[in-house]
Amino acid sequence: MPQIITEQNLRNLIDLLVKEAKLVVGPKLSGSVVLYEPLTAGSDLTLDALPRRSSKELFFPICEDILSYKRENGAMKVNDVDRSKFPEAVLIGAPPCDAGSPAILDAVMSWDYKDEFYLERRRKSTIVGIACTKGDDACFCRAVGLAPDAEAGSDLFLTPLKDGSYACNAVTEKGQALVAAHQNLFSEGAGAEPKPFVDQAVAKLNLVKIKKWLEEHFEDPLWEKIADICVGCGACAFICPACHCFDINDEGSTDDGVRRKHWDACGFAKFTNHASGHNPRDVQNKRYRNRIMHKFKYYDDKFGKTLCTGCGRCIRACPVGIDIAEILETINSKQD
């Protein structure tokens, strides 16, 4: 029997979770933009717009300390970050293109060496996804195999209904536990009809075919053409739910400071620059090629997944209008 939660009760749920001292993160109006931020009350939740940044930052912060060092009485001491202090978190109101990203990133963060900063946050968080009834002409989640109602990655999945309430499906045990702990906010019933989804402009892509083309066309005139205008900023990578590249830097003096891990982008000219001055990806189109290859070939080679959820953020944000969906369509339509 599906569970139903009214919008008011959803907001009440947030209030309760905040009271339980959980870190509740959801879309919230911050200045003039909607971002995933800690909600302090149910009324903070804004479900009108796709947040500018993806929800990956709950697991993979923009910038976080990974250790601190201090010289004490002449002896250097390195201190680990106490990851047990990471809060129990609930991500609420993430559409499938955001909720689905941890399911993709888990692979790279846990193969062989395990990034406990990411994984600990993952273990401590519950993801409440929500079916997407908005979307614009930049959206292409269907094209990369997701859908506005895809439950992948969500622990509890909400489907907006026409009467303003939500049908809930507890996808995982974490989701069930969340419902069970607040059972009085949910009611059983068939509920109203779901709100309709928005059509997407990009047709479903044949990702296998795209990957094959990428495999055979490391050198191709296409790369020169599409990245010709790329100005080399990191906007696409930083707001992407799936981009996971990072940099590690020390900040502080030689006696006292922290080492930080923070977002980095393959579009930056210095990303792969050797100290000697040699740069394997010395021009912008090689860097852009790496972006596409990483998402649609390399990641699949390594982990069997596509590193893209079709959220369309990079399309909306690109200063020069580079459209990854258009590039994929171009590749998809190639004959050989």
**Which positions from 188 through 217 interact with another protein, judged by CB under 8 A?**
201
Q: What are phi and psi for residue 83, nearest 5 degrees?
A: -75, -15
Q: In the range 280-319, which residues lie near another protein by CB under 8 A?
A: 280-281, 284, 286, 290, 293-294, 297-298, 301-302, 315, 317, 319
Query: Are 314 and 324 a contacting pair, CB within 8 Å?
Result: yes
- Using the rule CB under 8 A, is 322 a contact of another protein? yes
Closer to another protein by Cβ: residue 40 or 176: 40
3-state secondary structure of 197: coil
Q: How far is the CB of 32 from another protein (least distance, A)?
A: 5
- Using the rule CB under 8 A, is 116 a contact of another protein? yes
Distance CA 105, CA 306 (A): 10
Q: How far is the CB of 306 from another protein (least distance, A)?
A: 14
DSSP 193: P
- Using the rule CB under 8 A, is 260 a contact of another protein? yes
Find the binder of another protein among 213, 246, 288, 296 (CB under 8 A).
Answer: 246
Q: How far is the CB of 84 from another protein (least distance, A)?
A: 10
Find the binder of another protein among 138, 156, 158, 308 (CB under 8 A).
Answer: 138
Structure token pair of residue 209: 């075919």
**Secondary-structure percent of the chain, ordered helix, strand, coil, rounded to 5:** 35, 25, 45
Q: How far is the CB of 9 from another protein (least distance, A)?
A: 17
Closer to another protein by Cβ: residue 237 or 308: 237
- Using the rule CB under 8 A, is 63 a contact of another protein? yes
Find the binder of another protein among 1, 188, 320, 335 (CB under 8 A).
Answer: 320
3-state secondary structure of 130: strand
Distance CA 82, CA 90 (A): 20
Distance CA 114, CA 83 (A): 14
Query: Which runs of consecutive H residues, i.e. helices, occur in 111-257?
Result: 116-123, 173-181, 207-216, 221-226, 235-238
3-state secondary structure of 270: coil
Find the binder of another protein among 48, 85, 221, 336 (CB under 8 A).
Answer: 85
